[in-house]
């Protein structure tokens, strides 16, 4: 028996995917009637919501591209060209819904589209999985524009191909920098700047007429530009409204283990406060540089929230959980304020959590705190009876300090030079203490140091 091939053509998609047909049969479906009414109002773009697609009877012709803001429509061949045939050399990675490739468009590629690098995500076509997520990206990012939301440039809806084209973010995502430490540990102010930008993105979503619940806030979905400005990406699980506002709300729990709010996991209760809890988890990851779930650890320490939250309110215990790679180069006052905010965001009672507006107002002043040690880290090894100190300069402003005892000073001059040479090499190996001075230079700390 010949296997049947899945086709997307019978699923609701934006009208630009096919030719417009105005001779539609009338329906009593309220969502469909609303869409048909809005599609005729071409003079003023109106908003559509994910809840408008809850009924599968809505056809391809029920939507108009007039809902989308500055969105380009690409052919599959065009995207194949700009990614060099989806070459493995342009491969950036793979998410839950498809592979991502880097491409480049020039000025002559499309009218109104400037020359720029882009990221092209191709949705997996096996079965019907991923259609809702693809559509969510088009509907939400096609209508909402904000400095801290990744910019959707366009999409391809051709035959069985479903692709999305985004702006290219040079520094990848936060997960790569926070946990894999490419190029060294992220400086404290850089971490605050990244999370502040992400908080502003969530605040914008929550303030919509019908709040957008992101539902999958985690480091891998926070993209970074060349100057470490952050933008939210991957809106496949996002939805608008909440259980109280939407009678069609689904109780199916979706997201990533370790980030979902407890009330969402236990009862499917999804509100904007669910995003606040997820934000608190990422704040805790920022403080500790530990993943939300680490299965290789002892059972008691596998879940980051269960392990770390009790220590956030105790200043003595707080110091134990701070990421050691920061080497003490952070604002003590800033750390404590972030710890208190994290504790509040991770409250088991949704009503006790702050709004994202409060989160933004709390994080903003932390960038202005100046009690941060920026100089090279120097460690002096105390030796009993020392009488003089010699500084040996090493590259990257790292200092190795050696002390000589009175006994060493009395050694016969003939043997002293040889012993001193051996001790010098030994000190270079065992007593060197490295700082992040070079890291600050390479990552451009001046971008994040407050002006006087």
Task: Assess contact for 367 and 192: CB atoms under 8 A.
Answer: yes
The binding site for ATP comprises 121
With H, G, I as helix, E, B as strand and everything else as coil, classify residue 428.
helix
Active site residues: 216
Q: How far apart are the C-alpha atoms of 329 and 438, rounded to whole Å?
A: 13
Q: Which sign, positive or negative, has the C-alpha torsion 294, 300, 306, 311?
A: negative
Pairing of strands 386-393, 399-405: antiparallel
Sheet bearing 91-94, strands edge to edge? 72-73, 152-158, 161-167, 116-123, 98-105, 91-94
Structure tokens at 158: 């051709």
Per the annotation, where are the binding residues? 121
Using CB atoms within 10 Å of the CB of residue 102, give its burial: 0 to 12 exposed, 13 to 18 middle, 19+ buried: middle
127: left (phi over 0), alpha (psi -120 to 50) or beta: left
Task: Report long-range pairs for 344-348 (Cβ below 8 Å, ≥24 apart).
Answer: 344/280, 345/276, 345/277, 345/279, 345/280, 345/283, 346/277, 346/280, 346/281, 346/284, 346/305, 346/309, 347/277, 348/262, 348/263
- Identify whether the C-beta of residue 277 lies closer than 8 Å to the C-beta of residue 269: no
> Taking Cα atoms as reference points, which of 399, 401, 398 lies closest to residue 381?
401
């Amino acid at each position: 028996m010949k296997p049947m091939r899945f086709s997307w053509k019978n699923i609701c998609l934006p009208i630009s995917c096919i030719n417009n047909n105005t001779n539609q049969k009338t329906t009593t479906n309220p969502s469909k009637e609303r869409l048909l009414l809005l599609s005729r109002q071409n003079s003023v773009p109106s908003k559509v919501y994910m809840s408008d697609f809850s009924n599968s009877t809505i056809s391809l012709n029920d939507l108009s591209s007039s809902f989308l803001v500055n969105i380009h429509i690409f052919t599959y061949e065009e995207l194949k060209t700009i990614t060099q045939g989806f070459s493995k050399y342009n491969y950036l990675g793979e998410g839950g819904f498809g592979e991502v490739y880097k491409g480049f468009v020039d000025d002559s590629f499309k009218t109104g589209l400037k020359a720029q690098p882009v990221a092209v995500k191709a949705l997996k076509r096996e079965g019907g999985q991923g259609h809702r997520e693809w559509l969510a990206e088009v509907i939400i990012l096609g209508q909402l524009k904000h400095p801290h939301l990744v910019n959707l440039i366009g999409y391809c809806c051709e035959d069985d191909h479903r692709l999305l084209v985004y702006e290219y973010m040079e520094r990848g995502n936060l997960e790569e920098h926070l946990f894999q430490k490419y190029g060294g540990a992220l400086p404290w102010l850089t971490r605050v700047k990244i999370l502040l930008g992400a908080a502003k993105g969530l605040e914008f979503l929550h303030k919509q007429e019908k709040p957008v619940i992101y539902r999958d806030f985690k480091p891998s979905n926070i993209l970074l530009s060349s100057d470490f400005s952050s933008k939210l990406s991957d809106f496949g699980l996002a939805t608008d409204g909440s259980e109280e506002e939407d009678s069609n709300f689904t109780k199916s729990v979706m997201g990533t283990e370790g980030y979902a709010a407890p009330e969402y996991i236990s009862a499917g209760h999804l509100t904007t406060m669910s995003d606040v809890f997820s934000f608190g988890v990422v704040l805790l990851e920022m403080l500790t540089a530990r993943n939300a779930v680490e299965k290789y650890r002892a059972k008691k320490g596998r879940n980051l929230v269960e392990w770390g939250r009790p220590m956030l309110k105790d200043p003595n215990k707080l110091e134990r959980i701070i990421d050691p790679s920061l080497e003490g180069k952070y604002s003590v006052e800033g750390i404590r304020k972030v710890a208190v905010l994290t504790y509040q965001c991770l409250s088991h009672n949704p009503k006790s959590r702050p709004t994202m507006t409060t989160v933004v107002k709390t994080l903003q002043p932390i960038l202005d705190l100046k009690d941060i040690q920026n100089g090279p880290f120097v460690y002096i090894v105390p030796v009993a009876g020392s009488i003089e100190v010699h500084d040996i300069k090493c590259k990257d402003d790292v200092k190795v300090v050696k002390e000589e005892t009175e006994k060493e000073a009395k050694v016969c001059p003939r043997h002293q030079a040889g012993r001193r040479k051996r001790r010098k090499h030994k000190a270079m190996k065992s007593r060197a203490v490295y700082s992040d001075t070079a890291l600050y230079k390479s990552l451009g700390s001046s971008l994040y140091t407050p002006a006087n």
